[in-house]
Structures are given as C-alpha cells and as structure tokens.
Amino acid sequence: MSLDYNSKLIKNAINLRNNLTPQERHLWYDYLSKYPIRFQRQKVIDNYIVDFYCAKAQLVIELDGSQHYRDDEKAKDDLRTRTLEKIGLYVLRISNYDLDRNFQGVCTEIDKVVKIRLKR
C-alpha cells in the first residue's frame, strides 16, 4: 500500500527523528528497532508526522505526553486519528505515563495489536 505524504514535512520529520523524546527513544531503541517486523519512526503520512509506523500491519503508534490531554490538542488528535483511519490505518495511542510505568505491558500490547493486524 502506497501512502500519500506532504513532502514539505520531510525535513521536519528528519529533525524529529534526530531529536526523539525520552519516551520515543526508549520505545524505539529498547523494543521497536529490534521488533521482527519493520517499524519506521517519525514517518510522514498524508499531512502528519506519526511517531511510529509499521507498513505491514498498517499500524501507527502515537505516544501522547501531557499536552495531548488539553481540549484543543485532543480535538487535533481526534481529527488526525480519523484521517489516518480513513486510509486504512489503525492508530494505537499510548500515554507517556503508561510507557514510563509499564514498559513491558506497553510492549506486550503493541505485539498483540501487530499480530491481530497481520491476521486481517
């Protein structure tokens, strides 16, 4: 499946890739980069830069810090999720809080979702 993307976001995505948040860094280096199915980080899809993307499972993983719980940010996140779902992607949102306090549980959940998505 080929996805459209806004080429104007590529430089920003590269910058984000080189400046991961502590939670993104932890999830990437301690789990997703070693996962048997390929994930990409800071992937441009449509007019968005998603935190992590697995093409084979058509899965987007978004890590949400505290700013995502403000009403204005929640509305933006909801629109982003709906847009990505319209093109056939599943969006898994994980809070930084959960990642920090239950890393193994988060990894187990990601693995479960990937396996479900691959069976479709």
Q: Which domains does the chain have, with CATH numbers?
A: 7-118 (3.40.960.10)
Q: Mean pLDDT, the chain, as a whole number?
A: 90
Q: Looking at residue 67, what is its pLDDT? A: 61
Distance CA 92, CA 39 (A): 14
Are 67 and 23 a contacting pair, CB within 8 Å? Answer: no
Confidence at residue 2, expressed as pLDDT on a 0 to 100 scale: 61
- Distance separating alpha carbons of residues 111 and 10, to the nearest angstrom: 28
With cut-offs at 50, 70 and 90, classify the pLDDT of residue 8.
Answer: confident
User: Is pLDDT at 71 greater than 70 in this prediction?
Assistant: no
What local confidence, expressed as pLDDT, does residue 120 receive?
81
